[in-house]
Structure 1
């Protein structure tokens, strides 16, 4: 691989366009050379904007010899197929979450990657690259707060796009807390449960909102996640790890504090892209540097698989009304 990674991007929607601009203008080690989208006009518009190749299909893009790595930002149901095609072609692939929609698809991806003998896949759990979460991880690993006992967190959204459903509170929203909590604690999950709470009158659809999600780890730590998918006052992400000797909390992202009108205040974000824009930059910079060193070292196909299995257990718990066990396949040594 040259010192400039030639990337093909499948998916030219909102996040796809943001990532293309990022790879072209912010990350010096990458250059987008081809794009594809099931809605051809979107891909054509991006291709014309940057003077790059427009492919008719994602499979055509993956097969192009000049494409050294692939970024998948297409619709969720298409992720697994494109990732498997990349593995088959022996090409690095960065897949926005979720890795796949079923545990079976995740297992197929893992088996294909293991058969190839090396890591090719990275999953877009960008919170691991947020400076606040990274500082929390360092505080835990240093022993400053003692052994971690529990995590309290919340994920609050102001609105959702049409077609949102109750299960999406897990698969599209709390999936971030599922990944970041096990990363912070460095432990696998044992059980998952969803608790019913009073529903918000601000919910614009017929899905359940809010929900409380409970997770326990194999070593006995407990995580509670408050998920508000609609009608919240802002896009607000909170996390506190409670240890034996202290606590560490996720800092608010704004450093500007206003004092006026006998009050002290600071702004809160209203959109995920505002809140984690720097984390995306750090994430792709790290991905590019890792590829130049031979292989991705960020969130793996295993992490995508665990998030999927955990999400399935949470959804089942909401239906059964009791905690559900999280049962994982044996973890391959390449992870």
Structure 2
């Protein structure tokens, strides 16, 4: 007996499952090794494929923690490698300009730890290189943009919940810093994050900056002004204060307070951590020793968003800082450095955006 016929359509071709993004990591000191661990254990859709470091044994030690990765002898070799789809730069800042431009010229997305470059001219060279490429390739590692509190505050500002922001007060405190972390490093390694936060929250540049140096703390390094206070004035006249105190001997804290016409918001109060009310009105709590516990989740979110952006072809996540942000930050840092030895405000010099 003939079997009844049924309509059989041609099967749809199997959907190609994208392979993991193969990430090459340049520089595996404290921050780079942290990123290798993150990519290997907590980030979806990516794996570390190639590693390089100035100290080869350091590279080999870190590579042993990332299954399937290999070590090469130079950043140039890593960037050109066929088994590298994207690059994470965690080398010292003086190498970022050339390495970022090499990634742009190779057409490979890059997440570059701050700074984009060590001066405004070099940062602008990266801006021009990306403009010539016709695409967007470079994300900057300003991880605070991906912190839950910073993101919530940014959304509140964009929605107008606080009205018009007038003043922003920032605080940046470390338990201690290494020898050599003098005034210029307080600008380029500490204040740089608050400077980017100004651009992120207000979406307008700083036009001038002044430094105030109180009597140094007894904890300050020799030749260091610690604490230090910066005053930033934005294009529309808003004032941002940034109090830096990098030898508190207590722990790592960053806080931001926005004073608006309809309300005030404060982030970074450690309210999610355990605190205790003690006899006599004293209190106790937990303050992290350095930045990694405080911003662990932000780093995870930043790198995961970067990987998703590579997968969808945009290369740069919506909240991420790009090359222009890196240039504006570098130019503002240059003015802040000049203000260390100048009276009054120092103007920020910005070139035209290509």
Q: Max radius of gyration: which structure?
A: 2
- How far off is 1:2 after superposition? 3.7
d(CA) in 2 for partners of 1:251 and 1:265? 17
Equivalent residue for 1:183, pick from 191, 195, 200 = 200
What's the counterpart of residue 159 of structure 1? 176
Whether the 8 Å CA contact 1:150–1:241 is kept in 2: the answer is yes
- Once the two structures are superposed, residues 216-243 of structure 1 have per-residue CA deviations (whole angstroms, 9 ceiling, x without a partner) of 1111100010011223422111110000
- In the alignment, structure 1 residue 192 sits paired with structure 2 residue 212: no
What's the counterpart of residue 289 of structure 1? 308
Equivalent residue for 1:303, pick from 317, 320, 325 = 325
What's the counterpart of residue 69 of structure 1? 86
d(CA) in 1 for partners of 2:76 and 2:170? 39
The normalised TM-score by structure 1 is 0.95
How many residue pairs get aligned? The number is: 332
Aligned pairs (5 A) from 1:55-94: 55-94=72-111
- Once the two structures are superposed, residues 55-99 of structure 1 have per-residue CA deviations (whole angstroms, 9 ceiling, x without a partner) of 001111111011010000011111111111111111111100001
What's the counterpart of residue 266 of structure 1? 285
Equivalent residue for 1:135, pick from 142, 147, 152 = 152
Q: Tell which deviates more after alignment, 26-35 or 256-265.
A: 256-265
What's the counterpart of residue 4 of structure 2? none
Structure 2's unaligned 5+ residue stretches are 1-16
**Cα distance change, pair 61–276 in 1 and its aligned pair in 2 (3 A):** same
- How far off is 1:320 after superposition? 1.7
Equivalent residue for 1:110, pick from 115, 124, 127 = 127
- In the alignment, structure 1 residue 30 sits paired with structure 2 residue 49: no
SS at match of 2:237: coil
d(CA) in 1 for partners of 2:241 and 2:70? 46
- In the alignment, structure 1 residue 7 sits paired with structure 2 residue 23: yes
Whether the 8 Å CA contact 1:170–1:311 is kept in 2: the answer is yes
RMSD of aligned C-alpha atoms? 1.5
Whether the 8 Å CA contact 1:240–1:247 is kept in 2: the answer is yes
Structure 1's unaligned 5+ residue stretches are none
SS at match of 2:258: strand
- Once the two structures are superposed, residues 102-160 of structure 1 have per-residue CA deviations (whole angstroms, 9 ceiling, x without a partner) of 11111111111011101000000000111111111122122221100010111011111
- In the alignment, structure 1 residue 330 sits paired with structure 2 residue 352: yes
What's the counterpart of residue 40 of structure 1? 56
What's the counterpart of residue 273 of structure 2? 255
- How far off is 1:278 after superposition? 0.7
Whether the 8 Å CA contact 1:156–1:232 is kept in 2: the answer is no
What's the counterpart of residue 299 of structure 2? 280
Whether the 8 Å CA contact 2:209–2:231 is kept in 1: the answer is yes
d(CA) in 2 for partners of 1:201 and 1:49? 41
- Once the two structures are superposed, residues 143-182 of structure 1 have per-residue CA deviations (whole angstroms, 9 ceiling, x without a partner) of 2211000101110111111222210000001100000122
SS at match of 2:351: coil
d(CA) in 2 for partners of 1:289 and 1:204? 43
- How far off is 1:260 after superposition? 4.4
The normalised TM-score by structure 2 is 0.90
Question: Which consecutive segments of 4 or more residues in structure 1 shift more than 4 A?
Answer: none
SS at match of 1:97: coil
- Once the two structures are superposed, residues 195-223 of structure 1 have per-residue CA deviations (whole angstroms, 9 ceiling, x without a partner) of 12121111133211111111111111000
